[in-house]
Structure 1
Amino acid sequence: MSVPYGKVPEELPGLTLHRQTTSSVSSRAAKTTLLAFAALAVTFFTSTSLDTTGVNLCPQAPALIPVKNNALWETLTEIYGTEAFRLKAVDWLSGAVQIPTESYDQMDPIGIDPRWEKFSVFHDYLAKAFPLVHATLELTKVNTYGLIYVWKGSDTTLKPLLLAGHQDVVPVEPTTYDTWTYPPFSGHFDGNLIWGRGSMDDKSGLIGILSAMETMLANSYQPSRTVVLASGFDEESGGNFGAQTLASTLLEMFGENGYAMLVDEGGGYGEQHGRVIATPAIAEKGKANVMIEVTTPGGHSSLPPPHTSIGLLAAFLVAFERNPFDPHLIRGSPVYKNYQCVARYAPGLPDSLRKDIIDAEYSDKALQSVEEELFRDTRIKNLVGTTQAIDLVTGGVKVNALPERAYAVINHRISVESSVAATLNHDASLVEPLAKEYNLSYTAFDDHMDGEMIPSGLGKVTLSTVFEARLEPAPITPTEEDAGPYQVLSGSIKAAYNSHRGISGDDHIIVSPGVMSGNTDTKFYWKLTSHIFRYGHMAGVVGGTAPPGIHTVNEAIAASSFVEIIRFFTTLILNVDESPLV
């Protein structure tokens, strides 16, 4: 419970004053105790190097090493550390990258669009590369190319662990082929990096899971808890043919809230202010693609009106860019929690900012200071707020013909503290006054929106949603100290990180809640579990930002990083299998 803002808290977080309550305590003694505590607080907050060891920010789970399956875990730890396994892992991922599995924004359904057929080749590769997985697990194909692997556990009373990773990759722009160090689908290994489209997003996730399963099966592992792997094939183009159809089958298999937890692609770990911090995303922004369309009478361009449809559209777009959404850092939000962890554990954070983050739990002034400082980095500002990006624009057909139609599409990623309705109302409020000014009829989203609809005018401006329509922000996954799945995930991250480096201890890597800047296939899986994590244990990922090289030229991943991904999924499967917290 928060202390009323504007008041000094009786007790600072993590600094508990133990009071005597008997009647024998004199008022003088009580005053002396309070003065001593006040002095302690002043010392704490004015130190040139703030000590936060007693502050209850960002509590951490210990590194979680399997107990029941410890012998197997130790064996696999040794195997994963060998050069032979590193080269085997390279072969697995390199082979997957060599098969182009691009998905595009506009594709016809399965059986009509021939571009889907390349996924059959990819499936053949998976069957050949992972023979034990395909001989042992039950495989269900959904809508031809969606994959559900079920690794049946011996205890059917336990809810399954659900893992996910998609097969498709973003298309490679043909004009960029010559700029790649190695061809984008070569899967070239240079002794350090595995190059090619999908090496990071997200074949490293899917192949990492299958590699872990294959190796565990080769070492005679039989789970107690069922493990399910769901793999869509059009995540990069919305997931409507893939994950959306998989969701129905997954729901039929184990029911609503029938899975213990779900881990899909997402965050990783990287250095923040001198500390390595992993940020599994516990939330995901919503989305809306808003089309603004202006139509006006045509004619010969030698007799133009004051404003053509293109000119009018330009005026509207300028209004959008001059009036961005006003983001705010909210207590309890994923980014707020992330910076509580940074304040608690990162030595490189300026002390003034650290103090403000600590005080922000009770002080609006401190919270505002934190917001102003963090939002100097536009990446953080964009993670927090609703964003807008004008990505498409079209208008006109001929140089001497007045354009009768011009349109643009604005992509919104909606803050986890906002909604689709608030986003659309914001857009409508920008368009309405300009529509009146230019005497245009005006409709917005075919629904009642804030503001008056203008029925007639010299032209028309229309707001509508296109491309996947509207997606609300995802429910936020619990991360409290009694949230078992988050604790198991955190402990598994730490154990995998340590194992890969041959170290031990609980504080070499800190685990912090985060938020996804984009969307994943999990948007279709909300009914399956309330414990959804978007995390891939990929190195070099800071906060909710994407790793360098993703969705662009020269995508590549270090072989060592890919082996660590395999370690992570192995550790997670073993820990979830035996943990009473899940």
Structure 2
Amino acid sequence: MKWAGSNSKLNPVLFLAHTDVVPAQANNTQKWVYPPFSGTIAKGYIWGRGSLDNKVGVLGQLEAINQLLAQKFQPERTLYFAFGHDEESGGKLGAMAIANHFRKQNIRFEFLVDEGMMITKNLVPNIPHRVALIGPGEKGYLSLKLSVDSQGGHSSKPPMLTASGRIARAVDKVQSEPFKINLKYSAEFIRHLGDDAPMLQRMVMANPWLFQPVASSLVPQVPELLATLRTTTAPTILKGSTKDNVLATEASAVINFRILPSDSIDFVINETRRKINDPEVTIQVYGTPSEPSKISSTQASGFQIIRQSILEVINEEPITIAPMLVIAATDARHYQNLTEQSYRFSPYTITPETKDGFHGINERISVESYIEAVHIYQQLIINSSLPF
């Protein structure tokens, strides 16, 4: 969708979101307080799959546009809104197709804003007020399938190492040797927290050359923070025999890696092969990989406009704004050759009670947070449309 600005000399700004959601597993639907696709509004929340990821992005932007149209707002800068429909499966038919259309039209953007980091409450250790996190980049994505072929047979006369056992050993080797920590991509996050961060954390991030070898013992053991410090390793799929007394003729496992910008797909593949060190284990790329994104500047106009928009809406309470690497994949990676500035920010607040709703049970967003998100989107649209 194109909202034409009155000044064609200004580079346009792009807003992204996606309409698709992950499924709610059938055997878990009874664990939901309200049916996962009901959209029930109750107890101060909007309940349902996609309420956080990413219907708030789609509907929040559309509501903001609708309110601005009612006020007869006319942007000076042209704005584009691109909503993909297959982000959760890689974005091939949605974001990739839209990005290719922009390339063919020779359209480049001043900056873009996609889903990503959000406003946190009681989630950043030692900080009592809200912290708005803006993602200047994202980790890469790679899944590797490990497989072993065997003759199979009866489980009463197993070989010394079965196909399933060999796969289990390979997975254990990969997971038992995590990738090295790199403080580079969290140092700016700690610096932006300023005096709100404990002195030890500031000291570690200010002197990575000194503390890198012992960083894992000094950084708070928060999974979301630790994931920004290294390429992560997550075994997700394991397959073997379909019967308990039959040896598998093929056993396999899939391991998902989220790649730090200092690493690469080839590096992870080579490291996985080295760790396993077993020629009987075949290693193949599974699904659609993507390299880590480039990192956009926190001094550039896009970051500063997002920051300004947050502060203009949340202006009656303390709030800290800081950059943080996005540990998941977003559609923004498909557009990075169309702009020098890509930022990932979802303007709603998550808490310890709601953070596990992403792809999980009882996904929900508070009504208050949704309304605030619409206001931030509205302010962001206004500020993005002006000359700067």
Structure 1 length normalisation: TM-score? 0.63
The alpha-carbon deviation at position 513 of structure 1 amounts to: 0.9
SS across alignment from 1:384 = coil
Matched, 1:554 2:362: yes
Q: Which amino acid aligns with 2:382?
A: L
Check the 8 A contact 2:183/2:208 in 1, yes or no: no
Matched, 1:236 2:88: yes
Matched, 1:269 2:269: no
The alpha-carbon deviation at position 173 of structure 1 amounts to: 1.0
Structure 2: tracts of 5 or more residues without a match: none
SS across alignment from 1:294 = strand
**Residues 430 and 415 from structure 1, CA distance in 2 versus in 1: closer, same or farther, beyond 3 angstroms?**
same
SS across alignment from 2:42 = coil
1:419 aligns to what? 264
Query: What pairs with 1:125-524 in structure 2 (closer than 5 Å)?
Result: 149-190=1-42, 192-255=44-107, 258-271=108-121, 272=124, 273-330=127-184, 333=185, 335-342=186-193, 344-346=194-196, 349-354=197-202, 356-357=203-204, 360-362=205-207, 364-366=209-211, 372-432=217-277, 435=278, 442=279, 460-468=280-288, 470-480=289-299, 483-498=300-315, 503=316, 508-524=318-334
Check the 8 A contact 1:329/1:371 in 2, yes or no: no
Q: How far apart, in 1, do the equivalents of 2:2 and 2:23 lie? A: 30
Higher relative contact order (CA 8 A, sep 6+): 2
**Residues 391 and 370 from structure 1, CA distance in 2 versus in 1: closer, same or farther, beyond 3 angstroms?**
closer
Check the 8 A contact 1:361/1:367 in 2, yes or no: no
Matched, 1:537 2:347: yes
The alpha-carbon deviation at position 296 of structure 1 amounts to: 1.7
**Residues 579 and 373 from structure 1, CA distance in 2 versus in 1: closer, same or farther, beyond 3 angstroms?**
farther
The alpha-carbon deviation at position 363 of structure 1 amounts to: 6.9
Q: How far apart, in 2, do the equivalents of 1:367 and 1:259 lie? A: 37
Q: How far apart, in 1, do the equivalents of 2:244 and 2:211 lie? A: 57
1:572 aligns to what? 380
SS across alignment from 2:247 = coil
Q: Which amino acid aligns with 1:171?
A: P
Q: How far apart, in 2, do the equivalents of 1:464 and 1:283 lie? A: 27
Q: Which amino acid aligns with 2:177?
A: N
Q: How many residues align?
A: 383
Q: Which amino acid aligns with 1:305?
A: P
Larger Rg: 1
1:131 aligns to what? none
The alpha-carbon deviation at position 234 of structure 1 amounts to: 1.1
Instruction: Using the TM superposition, name which of 415-424 and 404-413 deviates more.
Output: 415-424
SS across alignment from 2:206 = coil
Q: How far apart, in 2, do the equivalents of 1:399 and 1:553 lie? A: 31
Structure 2 length normalisation: TM-score? 0.92
The alpha-carbon deviation at position 240 of structure 1 amounts to: 1.6
Check the 8 A contact 1:234/1:242 in 2, yes or no: yes
Q: How far apart, in 2, do the equivalents of 1:363 and 1:412 lie? A: 24
Q: How far apart, in 1, do the equivalents of 2:337 and 2:240 lie? A: 42
Listed one character per residue, the Cα deviations across residues 20-55 of structure 1 (whole Å, up to 9, x for unaligned) are xxxxxxxxxxxxxxxxxxxxxxxxxxxxxxxxxxxx
Q: Which amino acid aligns with 1:566?
A: V
The alpha-carbon deviation at position 252 of structure 1 amounts to: 2.5
Listed one character per residue, the Cα deviations across residues 106-127 of structure 1 (whole Å, up to 9, x for unaligned) are xxxxxxxxxxxxxxxxxxxxxx
Check the 8 A contact 2:181/2:215 in 1, yes or no: no
Q: How far apart, in 1, do the equivalents of 2:94 and 2:70 lie? A: 30
The alpha-carbon deviation at position 212 of structure 1 amounts to: 0.5
Identity score, percent = 31
Structure 1: tracts of 5 or more residues without a match: 1-148, 436-441, 443-459
The alpha-carbon deviation at position 461 of structure 1 amounts to: 2.1
SS across alignment from 1:562 = helix
Q: Which amino acid aligns with 1:537?
A: P
The alpha-carbon deviation at position 384 of structure 1 amounts to: 1.5
Q: Which runs of 4+ in 1 moved over 6 A?
A: none
Which is richer in strand?
A: 2
The alpha-carbon deviation at position 211 of structure 1 amounts to: 0.4
Q: Which amino acid aligns with 1:466?
A: Y
SS across alignment from 2:183 = coil
Check the 8 A contact 2:86/2:94 in 1, yes or no: yes
Q: How far apart, in 1, do the equivalents of 2:172 and 2:216 lie? A: 26
Q: How far apart, in 2, do the equivalents of 1:353 and 1:399 lie? A: 50
